[in-house]
Structure 1
């Protein structure tokens, strides 16, 4: 990774600025009129409802009576390589040059979606987060953010030279292995991807269903639910033993991966769980399983006990992060090399 240049750190986008968070299922957009204004947020649109981001913006998002954007910064669920950016868990292919042509923009920047989540936690207020377990935040120390959704997103936020540096990656695809006798009974029944079980095979919406079916198969019982929301609802209501165990193990495995990321980034500034699933299963995450999985990191369990964990409750955290960067880019070491397009 190359270090950001002075131009990367200080250059600003032209207002009004379109901001967008493109996930595997939904797309969220906003428009920032100027550096002193909060973004105007538009209704959420499903990515499956439009053929392209340009069609979604022109037909379903931007009102005709509002000032048109002059530039854009978009966060996408997937790696950014080249002029065509396919989304990991959705059908859109982001082509910044097409966006520039269709919307008459002067500049488009594309970053990873969890990079935007990392930008958001630099300014996350207490009312937009819920602490889970012990530990205390050390100011100006590195943080980690991860979140189960359509997939499993992971990013870091490193503080150096009075600047926050977001660190994108594909940490959701790290290997996830069994540790207990119960894990070993369940693991043969999990659906794999090319022969392996990654974090994203278990710790996301479809992964929760994968885990539920494996638990039922291990116990020789029929799977009653075919939707992750049904499993979650049954578990939170304690209506079904298999669903209840699914959510507890889901919390355990999420805790294990969160603890791994805490050690990778030495996240003494905290580990943050973002996305809608974490908010929906907050009661389960406040049980003992998540923190037990997080802290069980011998020989560094004592260290992990000192690192706080939070659930992000901001309704549009990624857009908040993009807005923070768009209005004050000098605060962040966000390199735009290879990720910025102009006419």
Structure 2
């Protein structure tokens, strides 16, 4: 059996897979609160119980930079490592890769029904690809095309500087600099980013917060979800405005990734937020921001843009990596 993990700042998802002709068959799957445990090994131990001896190889996609056999998880206090997992499994056929790298490997295991097309474009079969995923934080990865072989690689460019494009975004940056020493892209394009944009609109009196909404936000452990829901349903002007700014920033950064990697093979939008705000992503602002790159606009208009709908992409990618890269170790 193959053990696969998708380790995020909020949740850790683990699954056991068997390789079959059609791909990977899920044997067991469970979600855990990451912060409720002291280490990855504790979660794995809880999940496997007395089945650890059945695991032939394992791979974990983690939200943070991987250095050798360890990784510091962004937005968590603990460090993931393969050494403690090796003690549980009794072997070292264990991979630790970036979570967006795992998502990229997962593309190999998805079919057409797992995507929603935002821009059909004209895919270049020899071109590179890019993936960008906003959730608790934001992650980005590239997929290098080497003579037709697609090889994912990790980045931490979600922690690059936030670069405003207009007067409103400049004011947003100024506002956030009163709260943070440095403002990265993740401060605006993520679940936490939704809250930061909302706070900016409220605190600078650009929009009014209704009393009922303020109460709902106070009671919620996921403010970004509250904002998205009320914005999509048209219940609150401040939530709609927040979502519009967020979607525009998301599209702009997706276009930036396309340029950085010359991703003529396509750009994939992953993460937990995109499938929940599809109506907004289908509207004009997302693709307008994606295309608006001056002299490069014609190039961007040719690049396919797809939303990943399958929330198991990272798990399947970790399983893919374990099966194809670790079996001979």
State yes or no: 1:283 paired with 2:279. yes
Query: Tell me, what secondary structure is at the counterpart of 1:190?
Result: helix
**1:126-145 to 2 correspondences below 5 Å:** 126-145=112-131
| 2-structure distance, mates of 1:62, 1:140 | 41
Report deviation, 1:65. 6.1
| 2-structure distance, mates of 1:66, 1:195 | 45
More displaced stretch, 81-90 vs 287-296: 81-90
Kept after mapping to 1: 8 A contact 2:52/2:89: no
Q: What does the per-residue CA deviation read over 1:126-175, in whole Å, with 9 as the maximum and x for residues that have no partner?
A: 10010113413222421100111111100011111332111211011122
Kept after mapping to 1: 8 A contact 2:53/2:89: no
Report deviation, 1:104. 1.9
Q: What does the per-residue CA deviation read over 1:286-324, in whole Å, with 9 as the maximum and x for residues that have no partner?
A: 111110110000110111111121110012001111223
Q: 1:241 aligns with which of 237, 244, 262?
A: 237
Aligned to 1:118: 104
Q: Which runs of 5+ in 1 are unaligned?
A: 1-15, 330-335, 337-341
Query: Tell me, what secondary structure is at the counterpart of 1:281?
Result: helix
| 2-structure distance, mates of 1:130, 1:136 | 16
The normalised TM-score by structure 2 is 0.88
State yes or no: 1:30 paired with 2:26. no
| 1-structure distance, mates of 2:124, 2:110 | 14
Query: Structure 1 164/198 Cα, relative in aligned 2: closer, same or farther at 3 Å?
Result: same
**1:43-54 to 2 correspondences below 5 Å:** 43-54=30-41
Report deviation, 1:83. 4.7
Report deviation, 1:81. 2.0
More displaced stretch, 272-281 vs 173-182: 173-182
Structure 1 or 2: larger helix share? 2
The number of residue pairs the alignment matches comes to 316
State yes or no: 1:232 paired with 2:228. yes
More displaced stretch, 135-144 vs 228-237: 135-144
Query: Structure 1 194/187 Cα, relative in aligned 2: closer, same or farther at 3 Å?
Result: closer
Structure 1 or 2: larger strand share? 2
Q: 2:65 aligns with which of 76, 79, 89?
A: 79
Query: Structure 1 218/91 Cα, relative in aligned 2: closer, same or farther at 3 Å?
Result: same
State yes or no: 1:328 paired with 2:324. yes
Kept after mapping to 1: 8 A contact 2:13/2:32: yes
Query: Structure 1 51/196 Cα, relative in aligned 2: closer, same or farther at 3 Å?
Result: closer
Kept after mapping to 2: 8 A contact 1:190/1:211: no
Report deviation, 1:31. 1.9
| 1-structure distance, mates of 2:15, 2:57 | 12
Query: Tell me, what secondary structure is at the counterpart of 2:76?
Result: coil
Report deviation, 1:231. 0.7
Kept after mapping to 2: 8 A contact 1:189/1:217: no
Report deviation, 1:85. 2.2
Aligned to 2:296: 300
| 2-structure distance, mates of 1:327, 1:65 | 18
More displaced stretch, 283-292 vs 133-142: 133-142
Report deviation, 1:212. 0.7
Query: Tell me, what secondary structure is at the counterpart of 1:219?
Result: coil
- How well do the aligned residues superpose, as a CA RMSD in angstroms? 2.3
Q: Which runs of 5+ in 2 are unaligned?
A: none
Query: Structure 1 119/65 Cα, relative in aligned 2: closer, same or farther at 3 Å?
Result: closer
